[in-house]
Amino acid sequence: MLEQLRRIVQKVNNATSLEDALDIIVCHVKRAVRADVCSVYLTDFDTREHVLQATDGLRQEAVGAVRLPLNRGLIGWAAERADTVNLDDAPAHPRYLFIPETGEQQFRGFLGVPIIQNRRVLGVLVLRQRESRRFADDEVTFVITLAAQLAGAIALARSTGELARLHQQQGTVPARFLQGLAAAPGIAFGTAYVVYPPADLDAVPDKPATDPETECAALREALAWVDAEIARFAERVGDALRTEDRALFGAWRLMLKSESLVDDTLERIRGGNWAQGALRATVAAHARVFDEMNDPYLRERATDLRDLGRRVLMRLQNRDAPRAGYPPRTVLVGDEISAMQIADVPRDCLAAIVSTAGSGSSHMAILARGMGVPAAVGVADLPVGRIEGRELVVDGYRGRVYVSPPPSVQAEYERLAADDLALSAELDGLRGLPSETTDGYQLPLFLNTGLVSEQRPLGIEESAGVGLYRTELPFMVRDRFPSEANQMSNYRHVLATFAPRPVTIRTLDIGGDKPLPYFPVSESNPFLGWRGIRITRDHPEIFMTQVRAMLRAAVGLDNLQLLLPMITTVDEVDDALLLIRRVHDDLLAEGHEVSMPPIGVMIEVPAAVYQADALARRVEFLSIGTNDLTQYLLAVDRNNAHVAALYDDLHPAVLRAVLAVLEGARAHGREVSVCGEMAGDPLAAVLLLGMGVHSLSMGAGSLLRVKGVVRSMSRSRARELLHIAVQCETGRAVRRLLIDALEEIGLGGLVRPGR
Ligand code: PEP
Ligand code: MG
- Say yes or no: CB of residue 649 within 6 Å of ligand 1: no
Mean pLDDT of 471-479: 80
Whether 323 has a pLDDT exceeding 60, the answer reads no
Nearest CA to ligand 1 atom 8: 627
Q: What's the CA-to-centroid distance between 298 and ligand 2, angstroms? A: 49
In this prediction, residue 240 carries a pLDDT of 58
Residues with CB under 5 A from ligand 2 (ion): 604, 625, 628
Chain mean pLDDT for the chain: 88
> Do residues 34 and 109 touch, judged by C-beta distance below 8 A?
no
| Nearest CA among 641, 597, 638 for reference residue 621 | 597
Range from 8-12, 111-115, 418-422, 604-608 carrying the lowest mean pLDDT: 8-12
In this prediction, residue 161 carries a pLDDT of 63
Main-chain phi, psi angles of 590, to 5 degrees = -80, -5
- Selected catalytic residue, list 675, 694, 723, 728: 675
Active-site annotation holds for 363: yes
Q: What's the CA-to-centroid distance between 586 and ligand 2, angstroms? A: 30
Strands 181-184 and 375-377: antiparallel
Which atom from ligand 1 is nearest to the alpha carbon of 363? 8
Nearest CA to ligand 1 atom 10: 628
Q: Strand 37-44: give its sheet, edge to edge.
A: 67-69, 49-56, 37-44, 120-129, 109-117, 85-87
Of the pLDDT bands very low, low, confident and very high (cuts 50, 70, 90), residue 573 is: very high
Range from 268-272, 393-397, 406-410, 722-726 carrying the lowest mean pLDDT: 406-410
Residue 701 C-beta-side C-alpha neighbours within 13 Å: 18
Whether 271 has a pLDDT exceeding 50, the answer reads yes
Whether 138 has a pLDDT exceeding 70, the answer reads yes
Mean pLDDT of 180-209: 87
In this prediction, residue 319 carries a pLDDT of 67
Q: What's the CA-to-centroid distance between 604 and ligand 2, angstroms? A: 6
> Do residues 512 and 526 touch, judged by C-beta distance below 8 A?
yes
> Do residues 111 and 127 touch, judged by C-beta distance below 8 A?
yes
In this prediction, residue 171 carries a pLDDT of 44
Mean pLDDT of 192-213: 85
Percent of the chain at pLDDT exceeding 90: 54
Residue 697 C-beta-side C-alpha neighbours within 13 Å: 27
Mean pLDDT of 58-85: 88
Which atom from ligand 1 is nearest to the alpha carbon of 361? 8
Of the pLDDT bands very low, low, confident and very high (cuts 50, 70, 90), residue 755 is: very low
- Say yes or no: CB of residue 681 within 6 Å of ligand 1: no
- Say yes or no: CB of residue 360 within 6 Å of ligand 1: no
Which atom from ligand 1 is nearest to the alpha carbon of 678? 3
703 vs 697: CA distance, rounded Å: 9
Range from 100-114, 232-246, 275-289 carrying the lowest mean pLDDT: 232-246
Highest mean pLDDT pick, 221-230, 232-241, 334-343, 583-592: 583-592
In this prediction, residue 174 carries a pLDDT of 38
The DSSP H or E segment spanning 601 is strand 599-603
Which atom from ligand 1 is nearest to the alpha carbon of 625? 3
Other CB atoms within 10 Å distance of the CB of residue 205: 23
- Say yes or no: CB of residue 676 within 6 Å of ligand 1: yes
Q: What's the CA-to-centroid distance between 565 and ligand 2, angstroms? A: 7
> Do residues 188 and 331 touch, judged by C-beta distance below 8 A?
yes
The DSSP H or E segment spanning 708 is helix 703-712
Q: What's the CA-to-centroid distance between 471 and ligand 1, angstroms? A: 12
Q: List, for residues 712-753, the tens digit of each pLDDT value.
A: 999 999 999 999 999 999 999 999 999 999 999 988 878 754
640 vs 583: CA distance, rounded Å: 39
Q: Which residues does 1 contact at the CB level (< 8 Å), separation at least 6?
A: 32, 138, 142
The DSSP H or E segment spanning 32 is helix 18-32
Of the pLDDT bands very low, low, confident and very high (cuts 50, 70, 90), residue 246 is: low
Q: What's the CA-to-centroid distance between 627 and ligand 1, angstroms? A: 5
Whether 168 has a pLDDT exceeding 70, the answer reads no
| Nearest CA among 685, 693, 692, 737 for reference residue 711 | 685
Nearest CA to ligand 1 atom 3: 625
622 vs 600: CA distance, rounded Å: 5
CA pseudo-torsion sign 430, 434, 436, 440: negative
In this prediction, residue 609 carries a pLDDT of 98
- Say yes or no: CB of residue 675 within 6 Å of ligand 1: yes
Ligand in nearest proximity to the CA of 514: 1
Q: What's the CA-to-centroid distance between 628 and ligand 2, angstroms? A: 5
Q: What's the CA-to-centroid distance between 711 and ligand 2, angstroms? A: 29
- Say yes or no: CB of residue 44 within 6 Å of ligand 1: no
Distance of CA 146 to the CA centre of its chain: 27
Whether 169 has a pLDDT exceeding 60, the answer reads no
Ligand in nearest proximity to the CA of 698: 1
Of the pLDDT bands very low, low, confident and very high (cuts 50, 70, 90), residue 160 is: low
Ligand in nearest proximity to the CA of 676: 1
Contacts 24+ apart (CB under 8 A), 529-536: 531/566, 532/508, 532/565, 532/566, 533/507, 533/564, 533/565, 533/566, 533/567, 533/572, 533/576, 534/566, 534/572, 535/508, 535/510, 535/511, 536/507, 536/508, 536/576
CA end-to-end span of the chain:
46
Active-site annotation holds for 675: yes
> Do residues 253 and 263 touch, judged by C-beta distance below 8 A?
no
154 vs 139: CA distance, rounded Å: 22
Main-chain phi, psi angles of 399, to 5 degrees = 70, 35
Whether 172 has a pLDDT exceeding 50, the answer reads no
Whether 754 has a pLDDT exceeding 50, the answer reads no
> Do residues 234 and 246 touch, judged by C-beta distance below 8 A?
yes
Nearest CA to ligand 1 atom 9: 470
Mutation pick for ligand 1 pocket among 602, 649, 702 (CB with most ligand atoms within 8 Å): 602
Q: Please give the residue that has the higher pLDDT: either 669 or 120.
A: 669
| Nearest CA among 563, 554, 540, 361 for reference residue 471 | 563
Q: List, for residues 292-302, the tens digit of each pLDDT value.
A: 777 777 777 78
- Say yes or no: CB of residue 638 within 6 Å of ligand 1: no
273 vs 392: CA distance, rounded Å: 21
Which atom from ligand 1 is nearest to the alpha carbon of 626? 3
